[in-house]
Amino acid sequence: MKKFQIIVFISGNGSNLQSLIDKTKESKCPYEINCVVSNNPEAYGLERASINNISSVVLDHNSFKSRSEFDSALEKEIEKMSFDLIVLAGFMRIINKNFIKKYEKKIINLHPSILPKYPGLDTHSKVIENKDKFHGATVHFVDEGLDTGKIIGFSKFKTKEINSYDSLLAKTHEIEHKLLPKICSLIALGKVIFKNEEVFINGKFYKKGKEFIF
């Protein structure tokens, strides 16, 4: 039986891609990574894909005359692929509305904050600036807004003993690397259902998304 197929979009180091790859090496992993897509030809995540014999596609956004040309090229590449889910794991490009509509409920994003708090960039700096007691990461379905899609799940930690930007970043990565494979596995197993514009996990509705404690 063919496993659930995932495409992972990246722009940089790809540490969350690596966490997804590591999960696939477990015998009971319900998904496999079909392809890695990047807008950055220098992304180290492409090397991670190569090392693990995962195919990749590179569309350097700097080589396109406009955003619309890049978007069109991206859509054409994706149309060639067989997949069940697109995972945005550090993909630093805004997905266009037509693409989102075409693959509605088949695109998820990992965001480094406890959404709806701090959508967009510089989340770690904002946590430090505002002296937040908690920080974390969220996985959500992608819609046309900026990190506004329905939340599937999140994980958080206390910031009390974390005293620098780098340590905050490291702790966030630590929980991201557990959260993303967990949610991808649940989706692959059919345990995450998008119904009546709400998300259910194992048949249970969580108003703000399910909290995962690791």
pLDDT at 2: 81
Q: Pairing relation of β-strands 85-88 and 107-111?
A: parallel
Of 48, 68, 103, the domain-final residue = 103
Residue 163: pLDDT above 90?
Answer: no
Q: Provide the domain count of the chain.
A: 2
Provide, rounded to the nearest whole percent, the portion of the chain with pLDDT above 90. 97
Residue 150: pLDDT above 80?
Answer: yes
Task: Give me the phi and psi of 171, to 5 degrees please.
Answer: -65, -40
Residue 119 and residue 93 share a domain = no
109 domain residue, yes or no: no
pLDDT at 28: 95
Residue 1: pLDDT above 80?
Answer: no
Mean pLDDT calculated for residue range 191-205: 95
Residue 130 and residue 55 share a domain = no
Residue 27: pLDDT above 90?
Answer: yes
Residue 93 and residue 4 share a domain = yes
Residue 70 and residue 49 share a domain = yes
Interacting residues of 80 by C-beta distance below 8 A, sequence separation 6+:
none
pLDDT at 34: 97
108 domain residue, yes or no: no
Burial (Cβ within 10 Å: 0-12, 13-18, ≥19) of residue 120: exposed
110 domain residue, yes or no: no
Task: Give me the phi and psi of 152, to 5 degrees please.
Answer: -90, -50
* Mean pLDDT for the chain overall: 97
144 domain residue, yes or no: yes
Mean pLDDT calculated for residue range 144-153: 97
87 domain residue, yes or no: yes
Mean pLDDT calculated for residue range 145-174: 96
pLDDT tens track for 58-91: 999 999 999 999 999 999 999 999 999 999 999 9
Residue 93 and residue 22 share a domain = yes
pLDDT at 201: 98
Distance CA 191, CA 193 (A): 6
pLDDT tens track for 96-135: 999 999 999 999 999 999 999 999 999 999 999 999 999 9
Residue 122 and residue 94 share a domain = no
Residue 98 and residue 42 share a domain = yes
Mean pLDDT calculated for residue range 168-179: 98
pLDDT at 152: 98
Of 77, 103, 129, the domain-final residue = 103
**Do 133 and 186 contact (CB within 8 A), yes or no?**
no
Residue 91 and residue 175 share a domain = no
Which domain covers residue 187, as residue numbers? 115-214
Q: Tell me, what CATH number does 169's domain have?
A: 3.40.50.170
Catalogue the active-site residues. 111
Residue 98 and residue 4 share a domain = yes
pLDDT band at 161 (very low <50, low <70, confident <90, very high): confident
Mean pLDDT calculated for residue range 42-47: 98
